[in-house]
Amino acid sequence: MADKAVARLAGINVGAPARSLPSADFGLIGLAVMGQNLILNAADHGFTVCAYNRTTSKVDRFLENEAKGKPIVGAHSVEEFCAKLKRPRRIMLLVMAGKPVDQFIESLLPHLEEGDIIIDGGNSHFPDSNRRTKYLAEKGIRFVGSGVSGGEEGARYGPSLMPGGNEEAWPYIKDVFQSIAAKSDGEACCDWVGDEGAGHFVKMVHNGIEYGDMQLICEAYDILKRGLGLKGKEIADVFAEWNKGVLDSFLIEITRDILYYNDEDGTPLVEKILDKAGQKGTGKWTAVNALDLGMPVTLIGEAVFSRCLSAIKDERTRASGLLNGPTPEFDGDKQAFIKDLEQALYASKIISYAQGFMLIQEAAREYGWKLNKPSIALMWRGGCIIRSVFLKDITNAYRNNPDLENLLFDDFFNKAIHNAQQGWRNVVSKGALWGIPTPAFSTALSFFDGYRTRDLPANLLQAQRDYFGAHTFRIKPEHASETYPEGKDIHVNWTGRGGNVSASTYIV
């Protein structure tokens, strides 16, 4: 009672926690595992964090258990949450993407002031982040849409963070973000990405590349299993060896661990898992956006379609009894072929990242974003699912030449892709001869061959389009003439029966 009396004499209203003096450096809404782990991470780095969840019992439970003894405070209302944050308020949302983000933003707005910052750390679609950046800027609030990768462990001990949006916010959140982010060679795997939805766009491409990497690894596993006839531990040994070289990465590492893991009966658990792959949509978003922008991001597209094919398990089961193909037989040097497979996987990964950065570059042009390509590669070097030693070479490539037109034009990757060619072609051809599907390996090689071809058969395609639809074509400069002028849309009456009027021309 005496303490309360003293407090009242000092002018402190002990019955109104929502009006208490601001004490928290950072606020986070959403206490699922990712949210809790990010809060603990920030607290470990010396920041006082305020936690809030719509179900307030989760706040109390968190404070009494995982957060106990740490510089973490809780709130039981949005008003109290905002009151406990120092200015400018730095608020991170880790809630379900879509309407819940907009709903929380609207609930926060009455309690915010000009210059405060809202960060969406969920898996939001980048057009939503474009919209939110503009909407909140009109209200004087700085919005950041940040990709967060690394799963539960990354959130706790160092994720990859990809912030974009209102750049005025970056100086105010940089200390928190770069402190809690993963580190690679002493550098934080976090830097400012670019404008509006650029952070979530880069996270979307990251997830697309993740789809591609996983599909490539699965194809390599299938070739080792069905093509070479290796057993579980033998395949695991191969991945363990690969993880010591150019393929050293998180996904190769966990594949090794999965393949070594036996069920209680001593057999590999992975062989008992139903072959129906799930997906949450970010890979599809990447493929759809690539089509929208006219970019040949073929490997991610094939990875998405491969998951779709796996999903029709019952139909595939029926097809397996009706459709025949070759039975794999291998009679060569297994170790030599495994080295070829390693090179095929490495080369295909190079293509996947090259395609991903092609998409990022085109998005920057299309949406008018200023993107930090060297930092994007750095962000992916640690803390995220696609982290690998390989990304250090990509970082170096873009640091050496920020205007690099294509990753394949960099000396390091140019040499690597050429050194891998023979083994890569051997693996793809063997897959076709054995009847083992290699959609990701195959499309990567097809892209490479198409990209390095000066004259593709699209000349015939253009003639066909003009023949049946009067869609016009353009003449090669070396064949230009008065009849067929260079740089002009031309229509030919191929049969003598059609007219001379051409259709509208669309060039992607």
User: Is 295 annotated as ligand-binding?
Assistant: no
**Residue 142, φ and ψ in degrees, nearest 5:** -90, 125
497 is in an annotated binding site: no
Determine if residue 55 is labeled as part of a ligand binding site: yes
Q: What is the DSSP letter of 110?
A: G
508, pLDDT greater than 60: no
- In tens, the pLDDT along 164-198 reads 999 999 999 999 999 999 998 888 999 999 999 99
Instruction: Give the tens place of pLDDT for each residue, 36-67.
Output: 999 999 999 999 999 999 999 999 999 999 99
- Is position 31 annotated in a ligand binding site? yes
Instruction: Locate 242 and state its tokens.
Output: 């690969």
Report pLDDT for 7: 37
Determine whether the annotation assigns residue 35 to a binding site.
yes
pTM for the whole thing? 0.88
Task: Set out the domains of the chain in order of their start, with CATH numbers.
Answer: 26-192 (3.40.50.720), 204-452 (1.10.1040.10), 460-507 (1.20.5.320)
Average pLDDT, integer, range 89-108: 96
Average pLDDT over residues 270-288: 89
Residues 6+ apart with CB under 8 A from 119: 90, 91, 92, 93, 143, 144, 145, 146, 163, 169, 173
C-alpha 398/C-alpha 472 separation (Å) is 39
Flag whether 101 is marked binding. no
Residue 265: pLDDT over 50: yes
Each as own residue / partner, the long-range contacts of residues 166-175 (CB below 8 Å, 24 or more positions apart, any chain) are 166/133, 166/136, 166/137, 166/142, 167/192, 167/195, 168/142, 169/117, 169/119, 169/142, 169/143, 169/144, 170/144, 172/88, 172/90, 172/117, 172/142, 173/90, 173/117, 173/119, 173/144
Each residue of 192-218: pLDDT tens digit? 999 999 999 999 999 999 999 999 999
The predicted structure's pLDDT at residue 498: 63
> What's the pLDDT score for residue 197?
95
Among candidate residues 58, 84, 203, 349, the one labeled active-site is 203
CA distance 363 to 326: 43
Residue 483 has a pLDDT of 93
Confidence grade of residue 380 (pLDDT, cut at 50, 70, 90): confident
Q: Would you state the pLDDT for residue 151?
A: 86
pLDDT at 5: 39
Is residue 119 over pLDDT 60? yes
Please provide the average confidence, as pLDDT, over all residues in the chain.
92
pLDDT band at residue 436 under the 50/70/90 scheme: very high
Q: Is 203 a catalytic residue?
A: yes
pLDDT at residue 16, rounded to an integer:
40
pLDDT value for 377: 83
Quick one: pLDDT band at residue 238, thresholds 50, 70, 90? very high
H or E segment and range at residue 162: strand 160-165
Percent of the chain with pLDDT over 70: 94
Residue of 210, 219, 302, 342 with catalytic role = 210
Q: In angstroms, rounded to a whole number, what is the distance separating the alpha carbons of residues 106 and 209?
A: 34
Is residue 210 part of the annotated active site? The answer reads yes
